[in-house]
Amino acid sequence: MTTAKQGEELTRVGPGTVIGELMRCYWIPALMSSELVRDGEPRRIMLLGEKLIAFRDSDGRVGVMDHRCPHRCASLFLGRNEEGGLRCIYHGWKFDVAGNCLDMPSVPPPDFKQKVKARAYRVVERAGVVWVHMGTQAEVPPLPAFEILDVPDDEIRVSFIQRDCNYLQALEGEIDTSHFGFLHAGHVNVENVSEDEPLRHTIIDRAPKYHVTDTPWGTQYAGYRPAGASRTYWRFGNFLFPFWTQAPNGEFASHMHARGWVPLDDTHTMFVFFWWKHAVSAMSLPQPAFTDGMPIGGTGRGNEFLPNTSDWLGRWRLAANAGNDWRIDRVAQQNGSIYSGIDGIHLQDQAITESMGPIVDHELEHLAPSDQMITRTRRRLLIAAQALRDRGVVPPGADNPCVYREARSGYFVSSEGNDWRGVYASQLAEAIHPPLPAMRAAE
Ligand code: FES
Ligand SMILES: [Fe+2]
């Protein structure tokens, strides 16, 4: 079980918190590159409980910094983005993307602009996304070596979706594979789906067996079920430090992707999803269908977004949310056409994890053997965060991003026997990979 104290340590992300300091050892995907226009309006963003401003200067460089002007703390959100920097509209002080004060026009000479610095974070752009490093160390590591980040940019798809709950319960929804046969497919009868429908195996046996282990990048599970004559249906999934998952919702051989659960603050999370457009996965396969060709209820594609606003938490919000009960359809729930009554796999997961409340009260839980991936992941996170706090031990992958390179998730059927680590290694060796880059420096 997770105690109240452990729950608090695992879920709080602000400066000085146990997990918050761990998160500050890693690169964080913050916003789409397309959200920032040269000399365009600054954006308010929230990351790890800090209110920040992001802007793109006249040369195309991106700055991410504390929104408060270092003079008298007026918000730089109101600032003028002009001629290579952001100028505070209160007294005209101006800052470049690194936080250097370029101009102090309200102060008679000699001014002291070389002594003033806005609190700016390091930034890189990759795969159409602005990444921020909020650590204080002099040297920052390269970006995580996810295979998907080595795929050419024009083959990578990215989406952002805000979720209104703590990052941990959002992330745990991804490594909780036993919910699939209920929340997403509880209404699907195996007689009504064809042999090659990918979700067939998950409904033949709704209580699969699991292996769970620690890995260099975090934790991994393999759910497995019999799949006919001495064959096994495998579903591998991963947790990757500090807030990433890889889900088994695609064919293992091509499923290069990474799913980030970025803590905006203690009670809001941004889902940031990178995937390869040529992968055979839930994003490229047709909507699941019954043998008669009718789409399986609740598996609708696409998400309806509210318009983005300039609020700290106003970006990439779904139109179906707690305020309208995630548009649950009680008729569909009762007549068996959609088990949950909610249409869309992502929305079902979103509704469930938001319905737990802003931060789960861990003392009320009754974790089962089928939750062992969740308990192991919590323990791995907590041990790493405490080792950082108590002994300064750098957490997994933070300064050795190559550990992520061996992480893959997905499903496959195999007759290779039950040595699950061996099965994983042989499937990984046969899978599609991007060319191995020379280890990239943080550009
Ligand atoms: S508060 Fe920003 S210039 Fe004075
Ligand atoms: Fe799910």
Task: Determine the distance separating the centroid of ligand 2 and the alpha carbon of 392, expressed in angstroms.
Answer: 36
Residues whose CB falls within 8 Å of the CB of residue 369, separated by 6 or more in sequence, listed in order: none
Nearest Cα neighbor of 257 from 146, 346, 177 is 146
Nearest ligand, CA 104:
1
Among residues 378, 395, 379, the alpha carbon closest in space to that of 387 is found at 395
Q: Residue 436 has what pLDDT?
A: 66
C-alpha 257 to ligand 2 mean position (Å): 16
Pairing relationship of beta strands 232-240 and 244-246 according to DSSP bridges: antiparallel
Report, as ranges of residue numbers, the positions in the chain whose pLDDT lies below 70: 436-443
Ligand 1 pocket residue status of 107, Cβ below 6 Å: no
Ligand lying closest to the C-alpha of residue 80: 1
- Cβ proximity of 158 and 273 under 8 Å: yes
Ligand nearest to the CA of 340: 2
Output the pLDDT for position 199: 80
Q: How far apart are CA 228 and CA 209, in angstroms?
A: 16
**174 vs 283: CA distance, rounded Å:** 16
The finding on whether 91 has its CB within 6 A of some atom of ligand 1 is: yes
Q: 255 C-alpha to center of ligand 2: Å?
A: 17
Given a contact cutoff of 8 angstroms between Cβ atoms, the answer to whether 216 and 237 are in contact is no
Which of 316, 166, 171 lies closest to 243, judged by CA? Answer: 171
Whether residue 223 contacts residue 248, with contact meaning beta carbons closer than 8 Å, is answered with yes
The 3-state DSSP class for residue 24 equals: coil
CA dist., res. 368 & res. 384, Å (int): 24
pLDDT in tens, 12-51: 999 999 999 999 999 999 999 999 999 999 999 999 999 9
74 lines ligand 1 (CB under 6 A): yes
C-alpha span between 34 and 175 (Å, rounded): 30
| Ligand 1 closest atom vs CA 93 | 3
pTM, two decimal places: 0.96
**From the CB of 69, is ligand 1 less than 6 Å away?**
yes
Report the 10 Å Cβ neighbour count for 245.
24
Element (H, E) at 381: helix 372-391
Phi, psi of 353, rounded to the nearest 5 degrees: -75, -35
Q: Hey, whose CA ends up nearest to atom 1 of ligand 1?
A: 72
Is any ligand 1 atom within 6 A of the Cβ of residue 210? no
Of 168, 28, 141, 134, the C-alpha closest to 397 is 141
Does the beta carbon of 22 lie inside 6 Å of ligand 1? Answer: no
> Measured in angstroms, how far is the CA atom of residue 75 from the centroid of ligand 1?
8
What is the rounded CA–CA span in Å between residue 415 and residue 200? 18
In the prediction, which pLDDT does 439 show?
45
> Residue 62: CB partners within 8 Å, gap ≥ 6?
33, 36, 54, 55, 56, 97, 123, 125, 130
Please give the order of strands across the beta sheet that includes 80-82. 80-82, 85-87, 94-95, 101-103
Separation between Cα atoms, residue 11 and residue 267, nearest integer Å:
9
Q: Would you state the structure tokens that stand for residue 40, as one six-digit string?
A: 């365009």
pLDDT of the residue at 117 = 97
Is the CB of residue 104 below 6 angstroms from any atom belonging to ligand 1?
no
